[in-house]
Amino acid sequence: MATMEVGSDSDFKVHVFSSASELLGKLQKKWSSVKKKPYPAMYSSIYGGIILDPAMMVIPIDDHMVHRGHGVFDTSMILDGYLYELDAHLDRFLRSAAKARISSPFPQSTLRSILVQMTAASQCKKGTLRFWLSAGPGNFLLSSAGCPTSAFYAVVIDDDFSQCKNGVKVITSTVPMKSPQFATMKNVNYLPNVLSIMEAEDKGAFASIWVDEDGYIAEGPNVNVAFITKDKELILPSFDKILSGCTAKRLLELAPKLVEQGRLISVKTGNLTVEEGKGAAEMMYVGSTLPVLPIIMWDDLPIGDGKVGDLTMALSDLLWHDMVAGPDSQRFPIPYDN
């Protein structure tokens, strides 16, 4: 991590910005050398509109989401000019907000309209749409009672992604997982998730697996996990103590097609021990940006034959096809202004 080197405290002079225009000029200078904007559009209910200048994509420092973590978020994918599963993510978003006791400044239909309009203004054809509800700005107290209103923020992230076909290694995390009350809502308190993935990276793995207090497999740091048993059953851990993944739930809807083809015996959710998970024929992460990522090794032990499984890729194909050519109920065309 880069640090600023100074001879002594007395040598370091802090600059005082004399005007807003001076500060804005410095911020814009930072972005002037960036050829392609990674964040082509943002919405802020505090500003009351869509922002296209990345130098102005900021939120107030006294927002309770910033200094108290009182906020929730969700993410929808942008692929080939369509928003994938926007309504499913919005539904979960508002369920999370209710659990966090945050009231939306707009009804769901208005939130949806804002997100669609902002994505259209971004001109982004492939990336992610991330959105937040915060208790709002107002003060630095623990309680949000003094905040005049909640705040809604959203940003389009221009990002290239493709179907994952290579397997990764994972470890069992030693970082304690969130309690069910917090794990089942998609809130901004992600320090356990961050520490969990840092632990995995320190050990040369891609990410980690959480195991609950009863010894059952839970989830990854920001994705669900799924297994195919040697009897060709697809099993995902039950959602009662973990986040109910939109992509995981869609996989459960699509996977019966492989049962009809005779490739899988059954599709279900349930409790799996670590021993059962490590003894599975195939293992995978399931999440919005993947949508399926094969796992070939867990705690230095191969899963199955240690290679990407055919059924894992068949499930990946089902989800990827759903993303690029699925029904209108899953894909919403973005009304770009051109």
Catalytic residues: 186
Do residues 267 and 256 touch, judged by C-beta distance below 8 A?
yes
Helix (H, G, I), strand (E, B) or coil at 150: coil
Q: Which of 44, 184, 193 has the alpha carbon at shortest distance from 100?
A: 184
**Which DSSP letter does residue 262 get?**
T
Judging by DSSP bridges, how do beta strands 126-134 and 71-79 pair with one another? antiparallel
Element (H, E) at 187: none
- For the chain, the distance separating the N- and C-terminal CA atoms, rounded to the nearest angstrom, is 43
Do residues 132 and 57 touch, judged by C-beta distance below 8 A?
no
Do residues 279 and 255 touch, judged by C-beta distance below 8 A?
no
Residue 6 CB-density burial (10 A; 0-12 exposed, 13-18 middle, 19+ buried): exposed
By residue count, the chain amounts to 338
Amino acid type, 67:
H
Helix (H, G, I), strand (E, B) or coil at 222: coil
Chain centre to alpha carbon of residue 294: 18
Judging by DSSP bridges, how do beta strands 331-333 and 224-228 pair with one another? unpaired
Alpha helices in the chain, H assignment, sequence order:
20-32, 64-67, 86-99, 108-122, 180-183, 191-202, 246-254, 256-260, 274-278, 310-325
CA distance 47 to 45: 5
Do residues 224 and 199 touch, judged by C-beta distance below 8 A?
no
CA distance 136 to 68: 11
CA distance 262 to 296: 24
Specify which residues 318 forms β-bridges with. none
